[in-house]
Structure formats: structure tokens, C-alpha cells
Amino acid sequence: MGHSAAVWDCRAVVEITRDWNGIDYVTLRSPLGASARVSMHGGQVTSWRNEQGEELLFTSSIFKPPKAVRGGIPICFPQFGNCGVLEQHGFARNKMWAVDINPPPLPSFDPIGKSFIDLVLKPSDDDLKAWPHSFELRLRVSLSSNGDLTLISRVRNVNGKPFSFSFAYLTYLSVSDISEVRIEGLETLDFLDNLCQRERFTEQGMLSLLRLSTPNVTAVLDHEKKRTYVLKKQGLPDTVVWNPWEKKAKAMADFGDEEYKQMLCVNGAAIEKAITLKPGEEWTGRLELSVVPSSFCSEHLDLQKGVGT
């Protein structure tokens, strides 16, 4: 991987760059100037910009290496939160991933007009000591010509025995002011209060919530920016909504005291029921992010519809 290798596809471009930390990043560009950046550290999308160059994902101004940057889209695997023996949200987000030069075919993906990259994570000996299940975790990050961002993850069991896991895309959306934001599509669903004892509730209005069996489309309306994020998911039955709010923001070392106002995490996730794979089986989870002017919502959004191909 050189300083800046480029692969041209006439309309879209993929560049691989090494930063001052020695970490490789892949930048995807659309012909009209949208872009996305993926880090080998965690397979984490760290930037997604629209055609005007505006950043659509939140990242904290405080970076505490060797931890990955707080923000973007960290991947939680094979555990979500602290409900298991592993570190919080599993080890995948803290590992170095590799570019997958020759990934297995992904039949549901139409490559035309898209700029995309495949990454892969395979367990190290230490990972296998902590979680003794051989797996291959693949991630395809794709930027379409209209600037939509799609993440497709595949987990394959290359173990002799079945195993179970949880998964989440911890999606840090950048918002103008958290008090100006509304979420559509999650209003009347059961949730587990993820900060407390994970009991099942049917109330509304908290800020660390695991929503169960959510519709495949969620809309996040930013009134001040007059823009709406549309999140479409597949294979990810649950949604977590998270904002640390004032007190927790102050307690987090890699987060500014006031930064909670500029972010909202809305995660496509598979948490309540763990996914179980038999030897040789593969699971796919997909998240598609787009931005539309707020006037477009919500009557035009079909909140039951899933992702296309």
C-alpha cells in the first residue's frame, strides 16, 4: 500500500492512503464529489461527505490513540455493549482489518456506478483465546453515484461448531443541535433501557434505548439543517438510539463536554436475539444511509420498506 494508490472505474475512484499514525485509510469518491473514508482500524467508516463537502457523520475532536476515533460508524462484533465476556462492543472495532482483494461474490450487490472496497477481519490467536470461534467477518463499503453510503457485512462460520454473536453498526450521525432532531419510525415499539437492567419497556423519551424488532427504515430529521437522514437496514432487526447527554459526555475521555449536542447514534443492530451460524453458514447485515431535504419526509418515506439492491 503506497502513499496514495488509485483505482479508476471511469466514474468512481478508490484511493488508499497511509496517515501519520501508520494506519491505512480507503477513500471512496463519487463522480459528483461525495466521498467516504474507511479506516483499517476497526473497519470503521470515519467520514461521509455529500457533494457540497459537508460532513454527515460525527467524529469527536478529541482523539485518544490507540483507541479508534470516537465517531463515524464503528462495528460492534461479536458482542454488543457489556452483555458478555468480551470487551465493550466486542473486539472487531479495535482490530486492524485488511483489504479483501478477492472477496466471495455478493450476488445482491449491483456494482454499476459505485465506488466500493472490501475489507476482512479474521481472528488472531488472542481473539480465539477470548472467543474460541473461527470466523471471517467481511465488510463492503460502497458509495453510489448519488452519494448514498451502503455497508454490507458478512459473517461466515469457518469453525467446526455453531456459534452465536451480536452485531451493530454504531452510526454517529452529525446533527446541528440534538434538541432540533426528531426520529421517525421507532415511536411505539418495545425497548430495552440499555443503560439500566435491560428490562423491556414500552415508554418513550430516553436517550440510550435498544428498540426491538424495528421497521427497516428510520428517518432522522434535523430541523435546523432542513435535512433528513434515511437509514434502511436488512438482517438487523433491532435499533439502538444513543446520545451520552451532558453528564456522561463529561465523563468520556475521548469526547468534548458539549459534543453531545452535535451527534446522535442510530444503530442498525442484531442484539435481542443472537445470530447463530452452523459450520459453513453465512449471515449478511446491510445498512444503507442517504440524506434527503426534510421537505421530502415523512409522507414520502415508506417506513416498512427495506433496502434495495
Ligand X SMILES: O=P(O)(O)OC[C@H]1O[C@@H](O)[C@H](O)[C@@H](O)[C@@H]1O
**C-alpha distances in angstroms, 23 versus 17, 92, 214, 290?**
8, 16, 36, 27
Answer whether 211's CB lies under 8 Å from 164's CB. no
Q: Which is nearer to ligand X, 101 or 253 (CB)?
A: 253
Q: Which is nearer to ligand X, 148 or 238 (CB)?
A: 238
For residues 13 and 2, what is the distance between their CA atoms, to the nearest angstrom? 16
Q: Which is nearer to ligand X, 97 or 191 (CB)?
A: 191
Q: State the minimum distance, in angstroms, from the CB of residue 47 to ligand X.
A: 18
CA atoms within 13 A on the CB side of 15: 11
Strand, helix or coil at 251? helix
Q: State the minimum distance, in angstroms, from the CB of residue 53 to ligand X.
A: 27
Q: How many CB atoms lie within 10 A of CB 309?
A: 7
Q: Which is nearer to ligand X, 29 or 261 (CB)?
A: 261
Q: State the minimum distance, in angstroms, from the CB of residue 209 to ligand X.
A: 8
For residues 281 and 84, what is the distance between their CA atoms, to the nearest angstrom? 23
Q: Which is nearer to ligand X, 118 or 238 (CB)?
A: 238
Q: Which is nearer to ligand X, 270 or 297 (CB)?
A: 270
Q: Residues 107-117, buried b or exposed e (16+ Cβ, 10 A)? A: eeeeeeebbbb
* CA dihedral sign of residues 5, 137, 239, 287: positive
- Of all residues in this chain, which one has the CB nearest to ligand X in the complex? 242
Q: State the minimum distance, in angstroms, from the CB of residue 219 to ligand X.
A: 19
Answer whether 12's CB lies under 8 Å from 145's CB. yes
Which one-letter amino acid corresponds to residue 158? V
Q: State the minimum distance, in angstroms, from the CB of residue 280 to ligand X.
A: 31
Q: State the minimum distance, in angstroms, from the CB of residue 277 to ligand X.
A: 23
Q: Which is nearer to ligand X, 97 or 242 (CB)?
A: 242
Q: State the minimum distance, in angstroms, from the CB of residue 64 to ligand X.
A: 11
Answer whether 74's CB lies under 8 Å from 42's CB. yes
Query: Site residues (CB under 6 A) for ligand X?
Result: 81, 88-89, 170, 194-195, 208, 240, 242, 265, 267
The cell numbers describing 2, all together, are 503506497
Strand, helix or coil at 236? coil
Q: Which is nearer to ligand X, 168 or 277 (CB)?
A: 168
The cell numbers describing 234, all together, are 436488512
Q: How many CB atoms lie within 10 A of CB 6?
A: 12
Q: State the minimum distance, in angstroms, from the CB of residue 75 to ligand X.
A: 11
